Structure 1
Amino acid sequence: MKKLTSSLLLSGLLALSISAPAAQVAKVKGKSILIDTEGEDLREGDVLFVIDISGQKKAIVKITKVRGTKAIARVGKGAPQVGMSLERRGQNPSPAPQQQAAAPAPRQQRSSLFTPTGPMERRWGGLLGIGFDTLNADEKDANGVKTGTTVSTTGMSFSLLGLYDHKLFNNIWFRGLFGAEQFKTSGSASSGSRSVDITYLSAGAIGRYVFANSQFQPWVGGGFVLLFPLSKSSNLLDSASITNTYSMLFTGGMDWKISERMYVPLSLEYGLLPKSDSVEANWIQVRGGLAIPF
């Protein structure tokens, strides 16, 4: 009687274990398998062993998508077959060789701005600028003799420039600028109002260090610009003294990438013109525009 009871109990336990839900391989296609979850709570990222009927582990898979009672998994290694069951693994397996080989591709894509053959290696576009100009000069009388008074003048000006960006090294970029720039100030002196109004043809070069490859790409740089007067008018400076000159540039900004084929260059620039015995001048320019790679 005891033997009969034990046999019935053992048979019942076996029946329960056989009838317990277990996920099974429903379809195999290359390195992907379709799984019938059979009620098991499977989630994306779960790592499972594929077990044959004898209990031997035949493959390792990782769940990539779950929808209802079906799941899709990527085969890490091994050869699963339809009908095999699945068992959870305590830790994630090493990535499959195919995954390891493919990993560098997205890194290359993310850093394409700073690679020699990247699609953003060269760019061209245009910039509009608003300048805040300052000029201090010694006042002179009608005979050109200094009166001992310094006249301070300030004003606002505008610029229109074309730009050319070219990558030289990993994060180092060259920016060329060419166009028209105003320098315009006014102020009061003991003998009346004084003003300076000059329009220059300008050609400049800036070296830039770009910090990051992202949608917003901050940078700092420095350079110079050559200035050739196209028109000039002043009752503060001698007209003959307004000749070709240059300005040192200290600048920073950000390139705002609004699409794969277009970006907005923004910059804040401080320009320092050569100082003479009687005149010193500088400007602050805020520039913005539009550019595309080519």
Structure 2
Amino acid sequence: MGAQANAAPVIIKRKKVVKGGGHHGGAWKVAYADFVTAMMAFFMLMWLLNATTEQQRKGIADYFSPTIPINRVSGGGSGAFGGSSIFSEEALPQTGTGGISAGNTEGSGADEAAGAEEELKAIEELLMGRGGETMVMENAMRHIVTRITDEGLVIELFELEGIPLFDPTTDEPTQLLRDLTTLITATAKVVTNSIAIGGHVASDPVVLAQSPVWEKSAQRATSVRRLLENAGVAPKRIERVTGHANRKPVQKNTMAKRNNRIEVILLRNTSR
């Protein structure tokens, strides 16, 4: 009797389990990861649509198409397609049976177009790189902008306020324009592309009965032709010299000095 009185009491704990609510496990993490992955794929798709050309998108689609077999030895390159990269302008992947064959004139034309594009870009980089060789050229480069168009590489020489390319009333070139044409000639000698020259002038502040803008633009373009030829450009490379008057201003204010400009175009080769 005494032993039982001294025994420790037995304590029973009851744990209440609540089902529903609270922690649901890790399933939501999997769903969230799938959502993030899908969003990343979506944004990559949107970026590719914006950053690639139609030909490049065609190349990407062909690569993932199960109907076009990929042969690792079909092309001459070491890329994923065994040929040209999908990011090469106007280039399609070369595959074993569904790609570009040697006799495919369309593919050959695309290759030629891509080659011409790369050539123009190389000329552009060469021209802009030469501008930093001296301080004089570096200052002169402020008057040059370039762009590649369907016609070729356009080298635009333009005036800034207070820094003209010609004597304001004549077609007599300033020293600045002479320096710029020397730079262009040094670059143009590297290639054999034909050349076109276009003159543009700003509108006169006063409306004149006989506006000289047509004559002035044509005379200035001719003056640049002479400068290029005197610097070493073969006369037979000059394909045309054109005066555009004030018909194509680059600024809304047609009287702005920025509209006084010369365009020297290295035309795309058509006999590649």
Structure number with the bigger relative contact order (C-alpha 8 A, sep ≥ 6) is 2
Larger strand percent: 1
Larger helix percent: 2
Query: Is the radius of gyration larger for structure 1 or structure 2?
Result: 1
**TM-score of the superposition, structure 1-length normalised?**
0.20
